[in-house]
Each structure stands twice: as C-alpha cells, then as structure tokens.
Amino acid sequence: MEPSRTTPRALLNRALLLAVAALALRLIYGAFLAVSVAANAWTLYPPAAVTTAARRTHAQADVPSPEAWRTRQWRRAVDYHAALLADHLAQGILAPPSRAVCLGGAQEALAMRELGVAAALAVQKKPSPPLVVAGDDRRLPFKPNSVDFVFAGRALDSAKRPADLAAEAARILKPHAHLVLLTSSAADAYSLRSLQALLPSLRLLRSRHINAQDSASTLRELVFQKLHADDTPTSSTTGTSPSNNCSIGEHKLQLLTQAEPLIQEEPLKPWITLKRNINNIKYLPALADISFKRRYVYVDVGARSYGSSIGGWFRKHYPKQNHTFQVYAIEADPAFHAEYSVKKGVTLLPYAAWVKNETLKFEINGDPGKEDEAKANGRGMGRIRPAVGNKISGEVRSVPAFDFAEWLRQTVTEQDYVVMKMDVEGTEFELIPRMFDTGAICLVDELFLECHYNRWQKCCPGERSPKYQNTYEECLDLFSSLRESGVLVHQWW
C-alpha cells in the first residue's frame, strides 16, 4: 500500500486552521484579562460604574495597546516609580492587599502590580485596559472612603483645577489611609501651606526631597494621612475660624522677611513719596508660588471708577502667574456705578464697607484745591466719607452700608488667593480692627492699604489736610500691627 501524500491544498488548509486557532486563543486570553481587571475593579467601583467603564472600554477604538507600553522610556518610568513605591511598602503605608489608585499614568499602576499590589489601577481620561480606567479631576470613579492608597504623582502640578483633584483624592480615601504626591511647585513655605489647605481632612506626615526621573532636578515628596471624622480640624485649616487667632506660620514669616520696609518717617511730600513707593513693593507672586489655590480673588474696597485701580493697575501690572481673577468692586458713590455694568468679570457691590449692616449719612466733599475741577467734571472729586459732627461743607447723602468683614468670611476661604486694595477715606481705622475681631484678616493674602491722615497738602504749603484727624504715626502703627500679625501689607496711595 502506498503511503498517502500530503497535497499543497491540504497543507494550506492546515495552516489556515492553525492561524484561526491562534487567533481564537488570543481573543480568549484578552477576554480573560478583561474579566480579571473587571473582577479586581468590582470591589473598588460602584456596580453601575463598572458597567459604564466596561461599555466605554469596548467602544473606544483608539485605546493604546499594551504593546505600546513596552518602550524603553516607558520601562524606565516603571522602574523609577517601583523604586519610589518600594519604600512605602517597606514602611507599611502601602501593602499588597491595598486597593490602590494612581492619578498619573499606567506606569505607576504597573509598578505597583510588579511590587505585588494586584488591585492597583490608574485613572486617566481614556481607559486603557488592563491598567487604566476612565475618570477625571472632578469625579474619580470610586466610592467615598473605599481606597487604601492614592499615589497622585505630579497630577496636582499639571491639573487645571488642583483643588478639585485634591478634594476627590481625599473623598475616596478611607480614614487613616494615605495619599502620596510629588511636586515641584511647593518649593516655598507659602505654597506648601496652600497645598495643605486644599486637604483639610488630611494631615502631613512626611516631606522629603527626591530626585526626579530625569535626575536633573529635584521634587518634593509629601505623604498625607486621612484623619477620622472626629479628628478633622475645624479652625485655621478650613479658613472659617471665628476668632482673631491668626497664627504666624512659617509660610507667612518667610514672606514678611522679604517684604519692602515700611516708610518710618512722615514724608514731607507724600503725594510723591507714596507714588514712588510702588517701585519698592515686593509682590507676593514674585516671592512664592500661588498655584495651589482654589480661586483667585481681587477685592477693591473703595474702587471709584474702573480705571482707578482695577483696569489701570491690577489687571495691567499685578503679577498673576497666568491665573484668572474674580474681581469685586466695592463703591458706594453712585456716580461710578454705571460703568461697571459693561465690565466683564467684575462684580459691583454698590455699598459702603462698614462694621455692620446699616444706612449711613455720608458727606461728598471735594479735595482742597480741586473744587473747580470737580465742577467741570460734574461730579465730586472727594470720596464718600462719614460726616463728622456739624462740620459739613459738602453734599450729604444716605448710602447703604454692610458688614464687610462678615461678607469676606462668607465669600472666600483660606483655600482662595485673596488680594485686597483698601482706600476708604479714613474708615480703615474701623474696618481693620473689625477684620481682626472676626478673623477675616486671616483670609487676606496680600493687602494694599492707603492710610489717611492729616498730611501736608500739595495745594497749600505748610498746611495739613483738614479732612482727617489721624496722624502718620497712627497709620504707621496700623501697618506695623498688620505685619506683626502675619499680613503682607503694603503702603499704598
């Protein structure tokens, strides 16, 4: 009997069968991986979120494949984070059974899995199984108090709204669980304190400097622990303290040592000296990083016209570090109100800043030597100020006033960056003490204050202004008390 011969057609059929079998095995293996990831995620996600994430994974056409994660650069990133996270394993901050979440890339999640943390997952906008699930800064796809360890990497440095991401990281952590982040922004004490303020339910356990992955720069590694609800701070950390205990922390002391000196001697020509002083001012954003703030707010108390300081100085010259500021203009004189209706990004408060809510009688009076100019412009050149006794030489008008310190406490928190300019025609001697009494002064990061006193007049050599009773020494005491309390205040004009 002749042996059977294998024809070319039979060989081709056999090769096709083998190819189909290999493809089937590959698909089965991929499905197994997907099921495994889903099984790990079940304990971390709410059930509905797992279903949604799975649907998104199958619908995403341009998800990078795991093969794209095996480049040499990608591997170096995995090794770098593995070496970093191994230290936390050794200290018990991270453990193999931990439900761990990475807010950076898939490299961190793979590093954790290679260290034995099998349930590690990364969160990015686009899912990439088996390591990355979908989520964003404003809503991480995990239940509250469900995660044992969060590695933020440098996510807060690159986040558009770091306050939102910090709040989400704190939300998903279990009590006593840990958050680890790396940052190049918290290099100074002020920015570090700002970062801590974004995490009021966590306490800082450790801070150290480490080499960045490129070894050409250094980063600060911060380890936080979430407090139990009964241990959560309720005073200065949250920015809602009702007392005047504004503690002078390291972050404030560092700034005050770099501030320009106060002008100790009364200027003979204050209209020149005080305006020249702007060249000496050390602005806070030039001294510290202001990135870790929830909002950025400018409050102009005694704003007058838009171009007086908001458009003429703040928006043009204040160093904002590329942040957009919400502006509040507080001005009681109705002569200036109309122009604010067409100014975008400015909220007008058409009231007088005062120590309580009430109606006040104010005198509108022209500055000495400028009466003719006032008549030509059709409006009072002097600002609205409280009428004193029977010495009234100008128009008297009733205006609504509000408790400015209480409004500030209800409008901003310590998580916000607050710049304030105050020019209130002598009322600063009532407003500043009220801000101390209520603790509102603690919420002001930088203050530009014009203090009014019976100064020498430009119009009338040898004569002092009759408008104000306070002396330059009293103004200097006011500035000194603010700085001694940790407020970065500047002498303004």
Task: Give the pLDDT confidence score for residue 57 in this predicted structure.
Answer: 34
Tell me how far apart the alpha carbons of residues 291 and 275 are, in angstroms, rounded to a whole number. 30
- Is there a cis peptide before residue 130, judged by omega within 30 degrees of 0? yes
- Ranges 9-18, 61-70, 216-225, most confident: 216-225
Q: pLDDT higher for 58 or 108?
A: 108
Q: Are 138 and 148 in contact (CB under 8 A)?
A: no
pLDDT (0 to 100) of residue 33:
40
**Nearest Cα to 169, choosing from 235, 110, 222?**
222
pLDDT at 455: 82
- pLDDT value at residue 95: 94
Cα–Cα distance, 154 to 73 (Å, whole number): 18
Position 20 scores a pLDDT of 60
DSSP result, 361-375: EEEE-PPTT-HHHHH
* 367-376: average pLDDT: 45
Q: For residue 268, what pLDDT is reported? A: 85
**pLDDT value for 105:** 82
At 187 the pLDDT is: 81
**Candidate from 271-280, 436-445, 480-489 with smallest mean pLDDT:** 271-280
The per-residue pLDDT for range 388-427, each reduced to its tens digit, is: 454 555 677 888 999 999 999 999 999 999 999 999 989 9
Kindly state the percentage of the chain with pLDDT values over 70: 75
Quick check: 110 and 69 in contact, CB under 8 A? Answer: yes
The reported pLDDT for the residue numbered 242 is 41
Residue 70, pLDDT above cutoff 80: no
pLDDT over 60 at 440, yes or no = yes
Q: What is the pLDDT of residue 464?
A: 83
CB 321 within 8 A of CB 285: yes
Q: What is the pLDDT of residue 24?
A: 59
- The b/e string for 159-179 (b: 16+ C-beta within 10 A; e otherwise) is beebbbbbbbbbbbbeeebbb
CA–CA separation, 133 vs 83, rounded Å?
A: 24
Q: Residue 132 and residue 134: Cα distance in Å, rounded?
A: 7
Q: Largest Cα–Cα distance of the chain, in whole Å?
A: 137
Answer with the residue of higher pLDDT: 49 or 249: 249
Q: What is the Cα–Cα distance from 460 to 116, expressed in whole angstroms?
A: 82
Sheet holding 384-386, edge to edge: 352-354, 395-403, 358-364, 384-386
pLDDT at residue 465 in the model: 79
Least confident span in 129-138, 203-212, 335-344, 362-371: 362-371
The pLDDT, as a whole number, for residue 182 is 94
pLDDT digits (tens, 9 = 90+) for 308-345: 999 999 999 999 999 999 999 999 999 999 999 999 99
Over range 257-279, report the average pLDDT.
89
Q: Residue 48 to residues 55, 77, 141, 172: CA-CA distances in angstroms?
A: 11, 33, 10, 17
CA distance 104 to 291: 19
φ, ψ at 352 (rounded to 5°):
-95, 130
**Average pLDDT of span 206-220:** 88
β-bridge mates for residue 363, sequence order? 385, 396
d(C-alpha 45, C-alpha 58), whole Å = 18
What percentage of the chain reaches a pLDDT higher than 90? 55
Q: What is the DSSP string of 273-310?
A: HHHHGGGG---HHHHS---S-S-EEEEEET--STTTTI
pLDDT at position 19, please?
Answer: 63
Cα–Cα nearest to 491, from 323, 267, 180: 267
Q: Which amino acid is at 144?
A: P
pLDDT exceeds 70 at position 49: no
Phi, psi torsion values for 443, nearest 5 degrees: -90, -5
Tell me what pLDDT residue 229 has.
74
Average pLDDT, the chain: 81
Tell me the C-alpha distance between 244 and 435, whole Å. Answer: 8
Q: What's the pLDDT at 454?
A: 87
Q: What is the pLDDT of residue 385?
A: 55
For 79-133, how does the pLDDT look when each residue is reduced to its tens digit (9 = 90+)?
999 999 999 999 999 999 999 999 988 899 999 999 999 999 999 888 888 889 9
Pick from 308, 355, 354, 299: nearest CA to 332 = 354
Which residue in this structure is represented by tokens 């050409």?
216
Q: What is the CA radius of gyration of the chain?
A: 31
